Structures are given as C-alpha cells and as structure tokens.
Homo-oligomer: A and B are copies of this chain.
Amino acid sequence: MISNSRAAHRDHDHERCQNAALAQARALCQHRSARLTPAREAVLHLIWHSHRPVGAYTLIEQLSAEQGHRVLPPTVYRALDFLLAQGLIHRIPSRNAFIGCPFPEVRHRNLFLLCRQCGAVAECSADTLDQAIATTAARAGFAVDGHNLEIDGLCQQCQ
C-alpha cells in the first residue's frame, strides 16, 4: 500500500510536496512529450497549494489575481482536462473539486481519505483493496473498468 496520508494529514513542510509534485509533473510530461504549458503549470501549482481539494471557480479567482486579468472558465477547465488526462490530478466527485495526485507515475485506482474536520484529502493505493473490489464486482458478474472510492471520516490529527 502506498499513501500520502502521513504528509497530507499532518503538519509538514508542504513546499516540499508542492515542489516535488511540480518537478515530477515536468519530468513526466517531458517523457511523454506532453506540453505542460505555463497556464497548465500555474493551475497545477495552485492545486498543490494545499492538500485540500479545490473547486474550479476558486482556481479561476486565484489565477485571475495572479495574472492580473480576468481568467475565464474554459481556460481553467482546459488546463484541468489536461492534468486529469495526464493523471497529475484527480477529481473528487462528491466535492466537485480537484486535488493533486501524489504518485502520478504509478497507475492506480482512485482511493481517497477525506477528513471532515481539517478538509485534507489523502490518497492511497492498496492492491489488496483493489482485489477485494474486483472480487466483489466479479461475484455480480460485473466487468470493472475502474472505480472511485471516497472514505469520509477523521484523520489521525483530528481525532
């Protein structure tokens, strides 16, 4: 099992998270010949501002402030689409919000731990759990493409 909950749900030097994520994104995009343009990188940087999911319109506001002129929805949504396609961010459906992926180089299913107190979201990837999900689906004769698991509760810090 890999997880970023130790960082996400604790006090930590978050600039390291942010810098690491940006560096990794640049490396990954270079390797894939995908173009991490300034606009896309700016959105990714804003998303990594914290471990809390961010709404698209919040990003629009922040980006507008940063760039000194009014940024419109399609600009941000296009950047988000790119980042989603590259697996650099995830969308949290229950929140209509986006969060940075801490391990974009690894193919993985979606598994999030959402703390109702501090709002931070950690991501995990657990093969045993993915297996259990596959098994359950198989018992219903269901062929799995993918899944999204959101676990609500309290992180260790907030208990």
Map CB proximity to B onto A1-26 as digits: 1 under 8 Å, 0 otherwise.
Answer: 10101000100000000000000000
- Tally A residues with Cβ within 8 Å of B: 38
- Are B126's CB and A142's CB within 8 A? no
Q: Does A116 contact B (CB under 8 A)?
A: yes
Q: Does A136 contact B (CB under 8 A)?
A: yes
Rounded to whole Å, the gap between the CB of A131 and the closest CB of chain B is 9
Rounded to whole Å, the gap between the CB of A151 and the closest CB of chain B is 4
Map CB proximity to B onto A83-113 as digits: 1 under 8 Å, 0 otherwise.
Answer: 0000000000110000000000000000101
> What would 10 A/B residue contacts be, using CB atoms closer than 8 Å?
A3-B139, A3-B140, A113-B140, A122-B140, A132-B132, A137-B153, A140-B156, A144-B151, A145-B153, A149-B150
Residues of A within 8 A of B (CB): 1, 3, 5, 9, 93-94, 111, 113, 115-116, 122, 124, 126, 128-129, 132-133, 136-137, 139-156, 159
Contacts A122-B140, A124-B140, A149-B150 known; 12 new A-B pairs at CB < 8 A: A3-B139, A9-B140, A94-B148, A111-B136, A115-B142, A128-B132, A132-B132, A141-B155, A141-B156, A142-B153, A144-B152, A147-B150
